[in-house]
Amino acid sequence: MLKRIPYRFGPLILFGISLIGVASSWGQGTSGQAEEEQGGFAIPESIKGFDEQKVKNDPICDSSVRPQIDHVTPDEMKTGDTVVVQGKYFGKKKECLHGVTFGSEPAKAFSFVDDERLEAVVPEGLRSGVTFLNVETGGGTARKGILIRSKD
């Protein structure tokens, strides 16, 4: 257990004992915080009330897994078309999907379907030819070459 000892020149730790200035409360709960002793350790108020259901409902965005694009339908698209992107690791929830771009232009709209599928609307103003479709998640960006056709 840490004892608060007045010390005018700042914190000092000596032989495992912390000597803290009067105004500091490092290692100590404030007088307004309720703490419980459990096994000789104080449990801070900030970690009390852990709710397992809330943790299960929070978005699970694995930043260690890079997304992959396997297939884009249709093969040739025009501005304004809705395309279906199939792949892997787009995220367990829609909050994991950060964005979809066609070359450097953001998609007119995009929607998360599931971890392996999303839909996007090709933005206006793209030139005809080959460009990249980019899917960005917390794990990185996946790229796939696509063909944009003129609207004629």
Residue 109 corresponds to which amino acid? A
* All structural domains of the chain with their residue ranges: 12-49, 68-148
CATH 2.60.40.10 given to domain 68-148: yes
Segment 51-95, tens digit of pLDDT: 666 555 555 788 888 999 999 999 999 999 999 999 999 988 888
Cβ(139)–Cβ(66) below 8 Å: yes
| Mean pLDDT along residues 124-146 | 94
Angle at Cα 124 formed by Cα 115 and Cα 88, nearest 5°? 15
pTM of the model: 0.61
Structure-token pair, residue 55: 């943790």
Cβ(136)–Cβ(96) below 8 Å: no
Cβ(103)–Cβ(148) below 8 Å: no
Segment 15-49, tens digit of pLDDT: 555 555 444 444 444 444 444 444 565 655 555 55
Q: Is the pLDDT of residue 123 over 50?
A: yes
Cβ(125)–Cβ(114) below 8 Å: no
Structure-token pair, residue 72: 């884009």
Q: The tokens 């304004």 sit on which residue?
A: 80
